[in-house]
Amino acid sequence: MTEYAVVGRRLPKLDAVAKTTGETVYLGDMKLPGMLHGKVLRSPLPHARIARLDTAAAARLPGVRAVITAADTPRVKFSFVEALADKYLLCTDRVRFIGDEVAAVAAIDEATALQALDLIEVEYDELPCVFDPEAAMQPEAARLHNGASNVAWEVHQEFGDLERGFAEADEVFEDRYETSRVCHCCLETQAVIAQAHQGGRLEVWAATQAPHTLKHELDRLLQLPPGSVRVHYPPIGGSFGNRLVADMKAPIAAILSRQTGKPVKIVNSRTEEFETARTRYPYLVTMKTGVRRDGRIVARAARVICDNGAYNDKGPSTVASAGVTFAAFYNVPNVRYDGYIVYTNKQPGTGFRGFGNPQVTFAGESQLDMIAERLGLDPLELRLRNANRAGEAAASGARPGTCPMAECLRQAAAKIGWQRRRELPPNRGLGLAAMLHTGAGARMYGYNSASAGLTVDEEGKVTLVSSVTDVGQGAQTVMAQIAAEVLGIGLDEVRVIGNDTDLTAYDLGAWGSRTTWVNGQAAREAALRARERLAQSVAAWLEAAPEDLEFQGGKIFVRGAPDRGLDFAQAARLTYTKRGEPISETGRFVDELGPTMKGWGDVYPTFSTACQAVEVEVDPETGAVRVLQAVAVHDIGQAINPMAAEGQVEGALAQGIGYALMEELLLDGGRAVNPTFADYKIPTFIDVPDPQVVLYSDPDPTGPFGAKGIGEPGLVPTAPAIANAIYHATGARLRSLPITSERLFTAMREQPAAPGPRRAAETPEPPGGASPDQRADGSGPDKLQR
Amino acid sequence: MTEYAVVGRRLPKLDAVAKTTGETVYLGDMKLPGMLHGKVLRSPLPHARIARLDTAAAARLPGVRAVITAADTPRVKFSFVEALADKYLLCTDRVRFIGDEVAAVAAIDEATALQALDLIEVEYDELPCVFDPEAAMQPEAARLHNGASNVAWEVHQEFGDLERGFAEADEVFEDRYETSRVCHCCLETQAVIAQAHQGGRLEVWAATQAPHTLKHELDRLLQLPPGSVRVHYPPIGGSFGNRLVADMKAPIAAILSRQTGKPVKIVNSRTEEFETARTRYPYLVTMKTGVRRDGRIVARAARVICDNGAYNDKGPSTVASAGVTFAAFYNVPNVRYDGYIVYTNKQPGTGFRGFGNPQVTFAGESQLDMIAERLGLDPLELRLRNANRAGEAAASGARPGTCPMAECLRQAAAKIGWQRRRELPPNRGLGLAAMLHTGAGARMYGYNSASAGLTVDEEGKVTLVSSVTDVGQGAQTVMAQIAAEVLGIGLDEVRVIGNDTDLTAYDLGAWGSRTTWVNGQAAREAALRARERLAQSVAAWLEAAPEDLEFQGGKIFVRGAPDRGLDFAQAARLTYTKRGEPISETGRFVDELGPTMKGWGDVYPTFSTACQAVEVEVDPETGAVRVLQAVAVHDIGQAINPMAAEGQVEGALAQGIGYALMEELLLDGGRAVNPTFADYKIPTFIDVPDPQVVLYSDPDPTGPFGAKGIGEPGLVPTAPAIANAIYHATGARLRSLPITSERLFTAMREQPAAPGPRRAAETPEPPGGASPDQRADGSGPDKLQR
């Protein structure tokens, strides 16, 4: 492995001090001169016509500066994907979920704004509702929108020959899985400040993961000329996909600002945050897998029904993304993916760490354990036989350049003590799950490039202007490490700025684990150019060739002669003062396939893989699950900052434990019934073991210093690994998330006493025989023999 | 003349709407979360020892968060020029002028801070004072500092052979002139916000003309490691040189912030602004000129005594700068310049539009008229005979590349109706004065380069990141016009950002009329590179050679075939979306002589010239002067924005009228006696005629599109032109500024009735004869015949 000085080192993030001392200014703390406070009136009903809407009393309230309704907004529908636009900024004549935006006010303070909301009079005529996505797909179901059905979008892809694949299988298994509605639970609630300027421009401060996307979305939402919007993106207190699509508060604040001539701020209360949350999409996944007796998967089909909620957001994108990964995961020659996004009278979902992949991986990796048991194979062995390998193309054409999946599986098994499976005390279980995910964003939006600016100042301090969105993952620190490595200086010498769409070149944002791979290459290129510039001046003084110079340890010297050199800072100063030369350069990374991507095989530039293994203990009296140990072996190419990368995995794993065991936003007639942290439980330190995170190093030639992304993978395999371990401990196979103690307790009580699953795993039943799965939650696998 | 599409057009400034609607946020309006308010306790005495200083009572006042004295500050002296450091941040044991900083407080609001100041107990032991700079130079004078004398700095330069020059002269004239102490009178008073961060960095918001300089000054003042300071520079409400050197409020706010952990803001009240104003340096100039009978100047010497006030600021620099220009102005083979900067117990001066040049030009151009009269030459003719010409080196080696001085003189004379000199009604007079000034900054600080970043975004909008300091002169607009011209698009398509020393590369700041010439070239280069990038992609689509493409009118097309092309915005969009290429580039301008400048001949890269002519009417009953007409013909190379350039000249000319006729900060025992706009008069619209500004176009090959700077010249010749016109009208030659009605009335009363100056000018007296000058204000010229 190459030895680096800054890259690969466990360094504190650049913003660590400011964040830990509370000095960081989040949007909620920001005040602009003359700023007003806005609040949104939301529908209290899941489906209704607006019969009457009267804002007169609200407008008369002293301190109120503006009250707006749909009449004040452009007559244009919106969605993240323009072709799927379905939502007005404010509801015109109909509300479709509890929380749908009906009107908004701006007032001199928040209390007045809230008082004004109470004075807005609305009369509704209720309409029939649909809450279940499968029921919503029926022709007779009440319709939410004008389309032919409640299916908002669908996708169908087949690679290889599915039918022949199943025909060639020795066994075919079909099972149905269900995932839950979970909230991102960012500690910073959503907020926005908008200021409509006299000259026509709209300036917006938003905690967003995709500021350039937000810019365009606001152009569309407000029907502004291109280039009208400038987005500032201050530090962000958590995002996880929750800040990818424009929240309506942004255009609402903009219109309120335009009407009042003042900046307008809107901040969610915690309750609003829950009640109006865009959640992770619940998926119904029917997974059908054909295998040979030796465990080789020969055909695989997934049918996904995604509960879209009332409007499109990232639904189509997540369903498609999950399909792209599904089609590449494991070396399967014949693959089919069918996805449906279905409207229901519920709050819309959005992207959430993994972008559909955790849902489908929960199904696939749960089923693999079930198949292994039926085939009498060790679940680890079954996975190893089907593992993706570097350079081997999947049926879809996707070809991971690096892919140490087998190594991750083996290391995870070794670390958790997989050989202990047969020796565990009662109520303990081991489980593992693998995953494949993009390590480099996606090309599905037609552009996957980046640029960065780098200035070495007259004191040798380096400023990198990067369009990365640092959502707490340490993106700015990682960019700084890359620049520092190239320039042979310490991390302290580098600052990163950006956070302004006027300043940074177009960028897709922080999602899809793309930042390190995409923006890192631009940062590296910018640093290389600055290095070249410095080499030229230093070479002139040292009477050496520029290419013979080393940049190392804060010095620039002739290779092999460390005494013949200058301090980096000195070299910078002299370049300015003795040559009159500023050192300011731009670096670009061009992903040429971005715009020309042809099919699912090209969507992800490169892949990350991982295996997580857990040991659980189940309380037989209560069904409560404790995760005793968690091992996460993640392929990251080359970690730029192992501490930050591990932090990503640790945080995601904790979120995965919540996803597996406790989190769920419960809706009753479309209304959230647990919209507080008292009732919506997220894991605390008690619930999360100190995880063993292993960053498997296998430098990817396409990434900067071999790096790939790590933002999402840590959550993707956690839930199925836990579900598999619970099955191992209890013989109860739960195919619905979350596996709450109540659900597990019920499932355990319903299962017959014998044969225990552990023994079942040891002495497999003959294929076609009864499976413990049938006892788990009542819906046994539909086993199709051909 | 080349035809440009955007360059050379009268376009409103980019910030015009925001400024006229009041939307612009100045520092005074800014609030940071948790911000405290600071106030400074200043010395009430011009010279004293601090016998006792007790802050305990102030510190106990509720709402006070910090009280600091010298004990809280680094033990280091400061001055703009490091080698001349003479001022502690807060006075240690001695105060040297009324207003000297003694202590400071930070409190929750301004009222509490002011109350706390009253509670600080200080006992002073008074010391002897010096107020007159000539007296201060005497060996027996009370000393302000530890040096051998009160002469803080001196400069002596001779080019050619002065003695031989005077020996060759037919006539030698020596006269003494005196200029006044005037305030910048920025409508925005000085303000600063400082925030000392936990991580060690210091963030400062300051209305400064030289943000990068301020950064280094704060490093020095606070003894911080290099690179600690980040300066943000918001829009500025007037500067004129007043914001070039660190005001002590900035480091004081920084220390208060460090002590309190909160951002601290300090804003001058208008009275503080006057009482503590750094003013224009008053000069005593003794001008000695040797001429041939035909008017050719063969030798010239200036002896300048600059009233420094109590501490060095820009004094040495302005005295040196004025010398550099003096040595180049007019084609004089033998030149000598002697400058002395002398401490007095008064508030220090600083740079002010023209940087010493207005003071020396007042002397020189007043004297030229006196000489013309004595030689029987028309003042215009005398100047024409000595005018600098392009390519002709001055004795100092300075060689203006372009220099239409004669043309400016002739046009100004023509416009004002110079031929009317003999026909004017009584009490009316015509006068003119020429000037030479840098048109491109100065190399005296060792670096005169710049860089700029330019991004063409995915919608074809252009962002230019420039380090220019837009002090209202329109620097950002001018940069945008340059970029727009290169890219063939409209000004509306370009935005300029910067205003942050972390973001912008090192830059000397907005002074010396340098911005357009220096930064304009970097902006042009950045735009050229972006154009190249765009040309490559467009060429590929059009199947043309990149070099055959024209960028014009928002389109990119094959030369000669406007139909074979794309819209600029379309080309940008396609470059991003079809090639995956961001368009982001850096441009540099390297003034190689910056660091290697050898002598006075190299200080200014190029020169601007001008002639202003005025017509005045003097009320014989009161001495009140009305400027009836003002013509300003200014060589600007190529105006990038004629409206902005004219605005610079108009504003400067108005300031020049104030300088000539009314403005003076009057000190009594070192105390300002007229520190309000009620008592300190600046010209209003009534006092300023609608000036005829002519921008003489003579593109300078060194400038961007031929442009040179125009920030300062408009003020330089105004006062002598008015003094000359007053003499023409009245026969009273006033050699002290300002020429108030009282002074003029007195001078007019003291002068004998005949021969009137107008006749004198027509029928010159024989050389050596009595001159009306002798009658002007009592101190006739010492005429030395050799």
DSSP characters for A235-292? --S--TTTTSS--THHHHHHHHHHHHTS-EEEE--HHHHHHT--EEPPEEEEEEEEE-
Q: What is the pLDDT of residues A723-756, one digit of tens each?
A: 999 999 999 999 999 999 999 999 999 876 544 4
In chain B, the N- to C-terminal Cα span, in Å, equals 49
pLDDT at A24: 93
Average pLDDT value over all residues in chain B: 94
Q: Which residues contact B147 (CB under 8 A, 6 or more apart)?
A: none
β-strands B229-232, B202-206 pairing:
parallel
Q: Give B582's contacts in chain A (Cβ within 8 Å).
A: 449-451, 505-506, 522, 588, 590
Q: What is the pLDDT of residues B490-516, one digit of tens each?
A: 999 999 999 999 999 899 999 999 999
Q: What is the pLDDT of residues B661-689, one digit of tens each?
A: 999 999 999 999 999 999 999 999 999 99
B629 touches B615 (CB < 8 A): yes
pLDDT at A730: 97
| A766 has pLDDT over 60 | no
Instruction: Count, in order, helices (H) and strands (E) of chain B.
Output: 21, 33
In chain A, the N- to C-terminal Cα span, in Å, equals 49
Q: Give A457's contacts in chain B (Cβ within 8 Å).
A: 227, 505-506
- Tell which of A220, A501, A584 to mutate to test the B interface (max B CBs under 10 Å): A584
Q: What is the pLDDT of residues A564-610, one digit of tens each?
A: 999 999 999 999 999 999 999 999 999 988 888 889 999 999 999 99
pLDDT at A778: 35
pLDDT at A594: 86
Contact A18 B455 (CB under 8 A): no
pLDDT band for position B786 (50/70/90)? very low
What mean pLDDT comes out for the span A298-316?
97
CA B54 to the chain's CA centroid:
40
pLDDT at A277: 86
DSSP assignment letter at B763: S
Contact A29 B33 (CB under 8 A): yes
pLDDT at B231: 98
| A774 has pLDDT over 60 | no
What mean pLDDT comes out for the span B644-649?
97
CA distance A648 to A651: 5
Contact B226 A459 (CB under 8 A): yes
β-strands A87-88, A36-42 pairing:
unpaired
pLDDT at A757: 52
pLDDT band for position B780 (50/70/90)? very low
β-strands B279-280, B349-350 pairing:
parallel
Pair of tokens at residue B138:
């005497």
| In chain A, % of residues over pLDDT 70 | 95
Question: Would B31-127+187-239+243-276 and B279-442+599-761 be classified into the same CATH topology?
Answer: no
Q: What is the pLDDT of residues A464-515, one digit of tens each?
A: 999 999 999 999 999 999 999 999 999 999 999 999 999 998 999 999 999 9
| B136 has pLDDT over 70 | yes
CA distance B698 to B633: 12
- Give domain limits for chain A: 16-23+449-590, 31-127+187-239+243-276, 279-442+599-761
Helix axes B642-661, B718-730, angle to 10 degrees: 50
| A420 has pLDDT over 60 | yes
A281 touches A306 (CB < 8 A): yes
CA dist B477 to B15, B469, B490, B522, B651, Å?
A: 8, 11, 12, 14, 18
CA distance B221 to B202: 12
Name the nearest CA neighbour of A614 among A741, A757, A725: A725
Contact A583 B505 (CB under 8 A): yes
Contact B582 A502 (CB under 8 A): no
Contact A461 B500 (CB under 8 A): no
| B529 has pLDDT over 70 | yes
Cβ-nearest to B502 among A23, A497, A596? A497
What mean pLDDT comes out for the span B49-67?
98
Fold classified for B279-442+599-761: Aldehyde Oxidoreductase; domain 4 (3.30.365)
Contact A581 B449 (CB under 8 A): yes
CA B559, B560, B564, B570 dihedral sign is positive
What mean pLDDT comes out for the span B748-776?
49
Pair of tokens at residue B347:
């508030």
CA distance B508 to B449: 9
What mean pLDDT comes out for the span A4-25?
95
Helix residue ranges, H only, B31-102: 56-60
The phi, psi pair for B481, rounded to 5°, reads -65, -40
- Distance from B194 to chain A by nearest Cα, in Å? 14
**Chain A: residue whose CA lies nearest to B448:** A580
Q: Which CATH number fits domain B16-23+449-590: 3.30.365.10, 3.30.530.20, 3.40.50.300, 2.60.40.10?
A: 3.30.365.10
A438 touches A327 (CB < 8 A): no
Q: Return the number of CB contacts < 8 Å for A and B.
A: 161
Q: Which residues contact A379 (CB under 8 A, 6 or more apart)?
A: A368, A369, A372, A373, A431, A432, A724, A761
CA dist B468 to A371, B240, B314, B621, Å?
A: 68, 15, 21, 49
| A758 has pLDDT over 50 | yes
A773 touches A733 (CB < 8 A): yes
Q: One-letter amino acid identity for A676?
A: T
Residue with tokens 């220390």: B255
**Chain B: residue whose CA lies nearest to A200:** B17
Query: In whole angstroms, how large is the CA radius of gyration of chain B?
Result: 27
Contact A586 B453 (CB under 8 A): yes
CA distance B80 to B73: 18
CA distance B744 to B430: 16
pLDDT at B481: 98
B527 touches B587 (CB < 8 A): yes
Q: Give A588's contacts in chain B (Cβ within 8 Å).
A: 581-582, 584
Q: Give B595's contacts in chain A (Cβ within 8 Å).
A: 577-580
Residue B703: in which H helix or E strand, if any?
none
Q: Give A453's contacts in chain B (Cβ within 8 Å).
A: 453, 465, 584, 586
Residue A101: in which H helix or E strand, if any?
strand A101-107
pLDDT at A759: 44
pLDDT at B770: 36
Cβ-nearest to A446 among B453, B505, B577? B577
pLDDT at B601: 93
Cβ-nearest to B505 among A18, A448, A457? A457
Contact A197 B447 (CB under 8 A): no
Q: Quick one: CA torsion of B96, B97, B102, B104, rounded to 10 degrees? A: -150
Average pLDDT value over all residues in chain A: 94
CA distance B386 to B296: 6
Q: One-letter amino acid identity for B429?
A: G
**Chain B: residue whose CA lies nearest to A30:** B33
What mean pLDDT comes out for the span B640-646?
97
| A769 has pLDDT over 70 | no
Contact B595 A585 (CB under 8 A): no
CA A365, A369, A372, A374 dihedral sign is negative
| B317 has pLDDT over 50 | yes
**CB-neighbour burial class of residue B690 (10 A; exposed 0-12, middle 13-18, buried 19+):** exposed
- Tell which of A197, A455, A496 to mutate to test the B interface (max B CBs under 10 Å): A455
Q: One-letter amino acid identity for B434?
A: A
Contact A505 B592 (CB under 8 A): no
Contact A590 B569 (CB under 8 A): no
Cβ-nearest to B199 among A17, A30, A579? A17
Q: Is it true that domain A31-127+187-239+243-276 has CATH number 3.60.21.10?
A: no
Q: One-letter amino acid identity for A219?
A: D
Q: What is the pLDDT of residues B455-491, one digit of tens each?
A: 999 999 999 999 999 999 999 999 999 999 999 999 9
**Chain A: residue whose CA lies nearest to B569:** A226
CA distance A359 to A341: 14
| B761 has pLDDT over 50 | no
CA distance A697 to A684: 30
Q: Which residues pair with B66 in a beta bridge?
A: B106
Contact A463 B226 (CB under 8 A): no
Contact A580 B593 (CB under 8 A): yes
What mean pLDDT comes out for the span A397-418?
96
Q: What is the pLDDT of residues A19-52, one digit of tens each?
A: 999 999 999 999 999 999 999 999 999 999 999 9
CA B4 to the chain's CA centroid:
29
- Distance from A591 to chain B by nearest Cα, in Å? 6
| A208 has pLDDT over 90 | yes
- Distance from B562 to chain A by nearest Cα, in Å? 24
Contact B506 A23 (CB under 8 A): no
- Tell which of A506, A534, A567, A602 to mutate to test the B interface (max B CBs under 10 Å): A506
Name the nearest CA neighbour of B235 among B247, B243, B223: B243
CA B222 to the chain's CA centroid:
27
Q: Which residues pair with B629 in a beta bridge?
A: B615
pLDDT band for position B117 (50/70/90)? very high
Name the nearest CA neighbour of A486 among A540, A430, A447, A525: A525
Cβ-nearest to A582 among B449, B455, B461? B449
DSSP-assigned states of every residue in B712-747: TGGGTTHHHHHHHHHHHHHS----BS---HHHHHHH
Helix residue ranges, H only, B337-474: 357-375, 379-386, 405-416
